[in-house]
A and B are shown apart, each in its own frame.
Chain A
């Protein structure tokens, strides 16, 4: 974890605005960039929670807003196995809806759904992970994270601020894109822009619009994306996620991520 500590150090210094590219001279290997970017995007801390406001805007400028809480817990230290619990607060007629995931790498995730108005718990089977996340422009996979082994990665460029990776899927039948280009920030390894391409044109763009330092209970500083956006170039729609009350290492237990808690949400973590 030497390099990780180094990057945190760089982050702290960088945030103070004192120095910039001195440490970035040395170009890490592609695998390392990929691993770190994956970690920064989905696996910081042992667990975490956040309150998210999601604004979906269509081509006509009409917006819809949903508010939900995400609870996340890593169940190994390999940045692989993970559990999610998504609880919807708004709109009021969706309040209490829960979406739960046991994320696996190398096999299909386990997913559950709880619909309070029908008092219905269902397990979800899906042929792929490229479906809309509750009607937004984000896909399920954008939210849960795409397995790093599913693509081949290539460093195509190193710019002043970013490592530019081109990622090509190994199995093209399960995805709709040909490839995606990821811009990974050199200092903190946060992938801050992803451009999905199909037939030679970029048709989806994920962007990070805001990053904030969040300090964990033990004083660790986590560089955290607090505002991100997905643009669907074809439809002209976009979705923005605004994260508030982000916390790390809150001490979630695995018990929370079981069917029992679908009907009985852990209110203390959902404020």
Chain B
């Protein structure tokens, strides 16, 4: 007895056990994930639901660019920022009127309180970092205070009371390059408050508090809250909306479709149960294994559901057709399962392989998504082959009396008069008569597609993941209209030999913290008796101690490169060059600070808005700059040893293509203008991280596609015991994917993450159609002896089943169109398109090719054993080697040249082995016996 048959028998014999088993599995896995999510404190050992919306996590946390990014954020004490924009377009002076400035002042004062218990944090410092808040009332102004006098003061110590004073605030701020275009817009219509947070996790509480405060403000000002942390949190929320709406909608749609096909409620409940069980177990495992719910993994349910019901549809479809012949549940099911077990296994395996190949991309969320969907598909397959037979045994026979095609045989001979039936029939006729035209047309389409693919623009922009009218996109548009750009990228310049580590000496245990540590716990926790400070040495009983003289270690100091006027002028030149790219709105650097302070120290005139001529002059300007309310601002721009500096670049858009242009502009500048001192340069900041993961994704997706193509091809060769048939089965989906990407290129849709992910996963889905088509074709060919005789039958029941499949999957994904986030919509639209096109390609191109290749596909003497044909076994071997090579390259990071040499050796070995095996005695007897 075959394994598949014994599984079916067990299911038929012990339906109760199967049902209870699956239920128990769902409950156990479900609870493992649910309990720690609802009561995290009671189940500390288990993993609850964790949402991850941080775009940085598109790269592994150990990825070099992220490590550098994190290091530099610490080196320059930079934090994630919530941006609060205030726009007044009705007042002629914009926001610079007493009323608007008073609101801005109040909002700032309010924002400064958003830390500690106000936002529900135990740590009083957690929340808005007060010292780093940028607002008119928290930044310094430096200006002339009369002849020979330089004035230092708050830019706006208190809200101005007169129109003139309000306008004066604007005019002062405009003279400070650091503020102009950052704090206030060039037009003066808008102003931004920048609220850095100790941790981006706190952005949602801060965002909500600000919203609350703003809601109580009336007037002509408009308020916009944006910034990456806010976008992330909103994104997380929308993800759940998507899962709560789209996934159940998919369920409903599939349910309705099946009701349409089978019209028997009691039966179609079973695929729904399987889909539910597969989703619960997969998502439960995802959560329980400590993986996060990410933009990708949140799509898992909606991917598993339509795929999970496919196999059930096949079983039910066959059962529907055959039941009336025997009127015996058990016998019918056994025969159905016998004919379906192989194709079901293969279609599940190929779909699964397509998703699993996503593990070849170097993007962790994509890998997790691929692996778990692959797992879910196999789980659904297992549930299907065990549960569906068991479920049928639960249904009393009398309720099945009217089920199925009662008065007709399920044989393919019967004329189908339905619209679809007639259309498919016509299609078969057409492909038989015009096979060459179809093939030629396909080649033309392929060529055009390749042209289109050449025009693909690789670009992503996480802000555009939100729909056009979403408040975040609105805020993004408005603020970028007014300001020098809200997308930050940082260019680090440094003297050779400096590393993040050298700038972060002993950062693990900050010295400042260890100094304050004893003092803080000793302070009054409530307002009880304060711990008394201890008397210093010299007072009280102990003998007086004087610290040993501290000697300034002048000799050991390295050159302070970024005090060198030539270097600062070079930086200014670079900044000017960046403005010519057209995408940089503004940039800030140490050089700008020096120029501004120099101007005001001398006399405030434009001619002194320059870098002074000696390093000592630079140092003395900066010493004055630091004698302000915000001495630590300097360390956001340069390290205290003046060996590393960060240049802040503000981009007007989050398009990766724009960031790439800026990166290129910097490379060009360095190539054409050698720096006066040896300088290294390196980027960080989210805009740059996005570019890096996108590059990795494009390369990774190509590998994933190659990987899934090879694994599916190998499976096809094994399934059909023929390399030619294997290739044949890959043709429709290859053409489909080429066509879709060609269209993407022609219509100018950006090749972004969702579009990239589609290629390899559709491959696994779309090949199903070819499998069914070719398997049935072979069987029918054997029966009728020629394509001429059998093609009409192929376009009967098999074509109908394929059409049904296309409809279920394509329509099953359409609820994604309702999702509030664009990546989901993109996936929904493209999946539906791909499935329709590949269904069409299968039904048009495959029969045409079969017609043309008939003599080769159905040779007079067919060898069945895989090993007995040299070409097939050799090609299978080569495909297997290539598959291994792709994986080795990705996971062991071996260079292609090494892999190439190794593979070549293996290919020769495979060739020899294939030759020997194909010449072995058993094959000969096999051949002669035919």
A interface residue numbers (CB < 8 A to B): 14-15, 17, 20, 53, 55, 57-65, 67, 90-94, 97, 113, 115-118, 120-128, 130-136, 140, 157, 159-162, 164, 173, 181, 183, 185, 187-188, 190, 192-193, 195, 199, 201-202, 205, 207-213, 223, 226-227, 229, 231-238, 242, 244
Residues A227 and B148 in contact in the complex (CB < 8 Å), given A94-B619, A235-B131, A235-B512: no
**Are A211 and B537 in contact, CB atoms less than 8 angstroms apart?**
yes
**Are A132 and B150 in contact, CB atoms less than 8 angstroms apart?**
no
Bits for B103-114, please: 1 = Cβ < 8 Å to A, else 0.
000000000010
Measured between C-beta atoms, what is the minimum distance from B613 to chain A in Å?
9
Which B residues lie within 8 Å of A53 (CB)?
549-550, 552
Which B residues lie within 8 Å of A192 (CB)?
533, 535-536, 539
CA distance A63 to B547 in the complex (A): 17
CA distance A62 to B74 in the complex (A): 12
Bits for B894-916, please: 1 = Cβ < 8 Å to A, else 0.
00000000000000000000000
Residues A134 and B506 in contact in the complex (CB < 8 Å), given A173-B157, A234-B125, A238-B512: no
Which B residues lie within 8 Å of A229 (CB)?
515
CA distance A227 to B615 in the complex (A): 32
**Are B154 and A127 in contact, CB atoms less than 8 angstroms apart?**
yes
Q: Which of A20, A140, A233 contacts B520 (CB 8 A)?
A: A233
Which of B447-455, B465-473, B633-641 faces chain A? B633-641
| Pairs A–B under 8 Å by Cβ, sample size 14 | A57-B512, A60-B75, A93-B560, A120-B601, A123-B145, A125-B149, A161-B540, A185-B539, A187-B540, A188-B539, A202-B523, A210-B537, A223-B539, A244-B549
| B interface size (C-beta, 8 A) | 84
Q: Which of B75, B140, B536, B617 contacts A210 (CB 8 A)?
A: B536
CA distance A173 to B537 in the complex (A): 37
4 shortest A-B CB distances, which residue pairs? A211-B538, A135-B626, A127-B153, A236-B512
**Are A127 and B546 in contact, CB atoms less than 8 angstroms apart?**
no
Residues A210 and B544 in contact in the complex (CB < 8 Å), given A57-B511, A59-B77, A62-B639: yes
Q: A62-B503, A210-B538, A226-B538 are in contact. List 9 more A-B contacts (CB 8 A).
A: A65-B552, A97-B620, A115-B617, A118-B612, A127-B153, A128-B154, A188-B539, A210-B544, A231-B512
**Are A213 and B544 in contact, CB atoms less than 8 angstroms apart?**
yes
CA distance A61 to B113 in the complex (A): 28
CA distance A117 to B560 in the complex (A): 16
Bits for B816-842, please: 1 = Cβ < 8 Å to A, else 0.
000000000000000000000000000
B interface residue numbers (CB < 8 A to A): 74-75, 77, 113, 116, 124-125, 129-131, 140, 145-146, 148-154, 157-158, 503-507, 509-513, 515-516, 519-520, 523, 530, 532-533, 535-541, 544-547, 549-550, 552-554, 560, 563, 598, 601-602, 612, 614-621, 623-624, 626-632, 634-635, 639-641
Which B residues lie within 8 Å of A212 (CB)?
538, 544, 546
Q: Which of B532, B546, B620, B628 contacts A161 (CB 8 A)?
A: B532
Q: Which of A60, A67, A90, A124 contacts B150 (CB 8 A)?
A: A124
Measured between C-beta atoms, what is the minimum distance from B154 to chain A in Å?
6
Q: Which of B74, B533, B602 contacts A193 (CB 8 A)?
A: B533
CA distance A62 to B638 in the complex (A): 13
CA distance A162 to B158 in the complex (A): 38
Which B residues lie within 8 Å of A131 (CB)?
140, 152, 627-629
**Are B510 and A117 in contact, CB atoms less than 8 angstroms apart?**
no
Q: Which of A125, A140, A160, A226 contacts B547 (CB 8 A)?
A: A226
Measured between C-beta atoms, what is the minimum distance from B624 to chain A in Å?
7
CA distance A97 to B624 in the complex (A): 11
Q: Using CB atoms, name the residue of chain B closest to A62.
A: B640
CA distance A55 to B510 in the complex (A): 15
**Are A113 and B624 in contact, CB atoms less than 8 angstroms apart?**
yes
Chain A binding surface SS class: strand
**Are B615 and A93 in contact, CB atoms less than 8 angstroms apart?**
yes
Measured between C-beta atoms, what is the minimum distance from B5 to chain A in Å?
69
CA distance A157 to B544 in the complex (A): 26
Residues A132 and B628 in contact in the complex (CB < 8 Å), given A64-B640, A201-B124: yes
CA distance A164 to B640 in the complex (A): 37
Residue among A116, A131, A188 with the most chain B CB within 10 A?
A: A131
**Are A123 and B545 in contact, CB atoms less than 8 angstroms apart?**
no
Q: Using CB atoms, name the residue of chain A closest to B535.
A: A161
CA distance A90 to B553 in the complex (A): 10
**Are A58 and B547 in contact, CB atoms less than 8 angstroms apart?**
no
**Are A94 and B530 in contact, CB atoms less than 8 angstroms apart?**
no
**Are B74 and A209 in contact, CB atoms less than 8 angstroms apart?**
no
Measured between C-beta atoms, what is the minimum distance from A123 to chain B in Å?
5
Measured between C-beta atoms, what is the minimum distance from A114 to chain B in Å?
10
Residues A134 and B627 in contact in the complex (CB < 8 Å), given A53-B552, A242-B550: yes
**Are B623 and A94 in contact, CB atoms less than 8 angstroms apart?**
yes
CA distance A123 to B146 in the complex (A): 9
Which A residues lie within 8 Å of B641 (CB)?
62
Q: Using CB atoms, name the residue of chain A closest to B551.
A: A53
Residues A120 and B507 in contact in the complex (CB < 8 Å), given A132-B626, A208-B536: no
Which B residues lie within 8 Å of A202 (CB)?
520, 523
CA distance A93 to B503 in the complex (A): 21
Which A residues lie within 8 Å of B152 (CB)?
124-127, 131
**Are B530 and A181 in contact, CB atoms less than 8 angstroms apart?**
yes
